[in-house]
Chain A
Amino acid sequence: MMQQGNLGTLLFAVLVIIIAAAALFLGASYIISANSQVKQAEAVVFRSGLLQALQANKASALRPQGSTSIEAFTLPDDADTVCFVDESREYNTLIDPELNQLIRRYEGATIFIKPTDSYLPIAAKDFTLDEGNNPLCLKATRNGIRLRMQSAPLKPIISEVNASDKRYRCSKVIGSGDEGTIGIVFLPHGYNDLDRFREDAEFYAENIFLDTEPYASSPELFTFYMVDSALELGCKVGSIITCDDFKVKRAASDCPHDFITVLAERSKVYDSLVPVRSSAKGNLQKINTADKPTVFTHEFGHIFGKLADEYVDDRYYRAIDFREEDYPNCDEAGCNEWAGVSGTSCRQGCSLSVYYRPTENSVMKNLDIKSYGPLNERIIAGKMVQSKASER
């Protein structure tokens, strides 16, 4: 009898536990559901506030054309970006690859709140965007965004208040951006000033790469891009620069690309004390900006031209199974590989002292030499033609 009493109490206790847990579980679910409804309501408030402000900023007797105002709007706390698209004109498809799909999917929608799986797009026609600023994507800061509205006869022109408010995944540095061009994307590491990163990217693209043959003769084959928001690439700077390849590829995939360049900003003074090697692996090159700038074309020679180093480092190259037949710019004595190619000779030393290279000097041997030399130019030019012809 006593045992039955204890069993009854135990069963009752278990039942109490289950009921209490279920009650609190359901309560939590309700709270989460209510939160979701609150967020949707906040999105509705944002929408109506924005439409009112757009209406108010149309040019009128009270608001002369060209007058500007700054309007602030609150967003739900998990909204991180708002993108505006002026559907009446061409828009920049590089700004956000996801946005391109959303614009196609939601015909007529002009405002997108991200994360887009939480908020339906908004169809608002009462605004326009400056050329070159379409679409306009703004980061939400402190649960809101600010817009500059300039009165105009038909629709106000909206733009960012600060340049730093804009969010864009990818921007073009130089080149046509046509499908079929060879894409090279720059990613930053260690930059405190992203304007400086842009300057460096432009410098390497225009003053170094496109100033070197064979690229200089066919600049239309290349487009340079940059992902110029501060990124976490998992890079560490030791004797060489190592990065997390998954994070690098994830960032690079925001831009059309075939090759990736991580620019690691370093001070020349500090680098002279603690030198760091630039490197190339797969389709990725990591450039120490304190290096001589021709290191860019040297490393690109490895990843695109599949060229070997033409300097000799027997200690390194003997330690691995280096074979000249794997590289088009190294050969055995006699240099039959490039016999008859104008401007070439047969110079001893190509990664290993037992092999031979096609010229006395080139950028694959010495960074004070800008050119690749006739053979390497020919090899690279062939790769450029192949890339253009291949299906993309």
Chain B
Amino acid sequence: MTMIFGIPIQAFLGQLLVGLINGSFYAMLSLGLAIIFGLLRVINFAHGAQYMLGAFVGFLLLSYLGIGYWPALILVPLIVGVSGMVIERLALSRLYDVDPLYGLLFTFGLALVIEGAFRYYFGVSGQIYTPPPQLSGGTNLGFMFLPNYRGWVVIASLFICLGTWLLIEKTRLGAYLRAATENPILVQAFGVNVPLLLTLTYGIGSALAGLAGIMAAPVYQVSPLMGSNLIIVVFAVVVVGGMGSILGAIITGYMLGLAEGLTKVFYPEASNIVIFVIMAIVLLVRPAGLFGRDA
């Protein structure tokens, strides 16, 4: 058997793949957080709950209405996104004038309510969501066995991140968004409906979390607690990347996922905390984050 650094290459690449998968979800989630924070100045603590919501909505669509994975990829982000917009209209929009910490606390409460409700109705045990038949099975790449669904997640998440980045950097809507991030009052004076833009932004951010959730459903088990532990890691990712740049959030997400996978190979005991350790080091060396602009 081929060995690399004294470890079978299969195990090595396997963990690297797990790292890449985790990294895909970190990237999608930190991207959503960064978009929301950029315009709303709100740290969306409910992001983890919305990710869980995405997985559960997909699971419920399948088990009660028989709606499969492919339609769910469209429906789930729509449902989670619209629910996010309702919350933004009803509650978050009232908090823009006060200290941004209140936005964090509100979304924290929201996360507790959503998770508590799902725990109450579904218990803590995980539900299985089988991947669609087109993506079941795996491919032998010669040097390793790649489950098809996992390969799909990595590729699809790359496209989603790239697509979102293009949406923000290259389209008219994205231009409005970036302008409103710089100076909302001036943009409003030019006749752009900024409150609507804010609602839409929160909707897009939530939809991204929901999309990540439905994509994660076949990889991890669908459980009410799947988001709450993830969100803390994603916060650390966001601190490392700095929320100034969208591309930075994406790159940091993949990088830290890979770092986590590598740690699992060489020193498994530390794999839970390696991202936090990296965060601490980055804070010492570059307090603003790797891609951060704000001091």
Say whether A associates with B. no
Using CB atoms and an 8 Å cutoff, list the residues of chain A in contact with chain B.
Answer: none
Using CB atoms and an 8 Å cutoff, list the residues of chain B in contact with chain A.
Answer: none
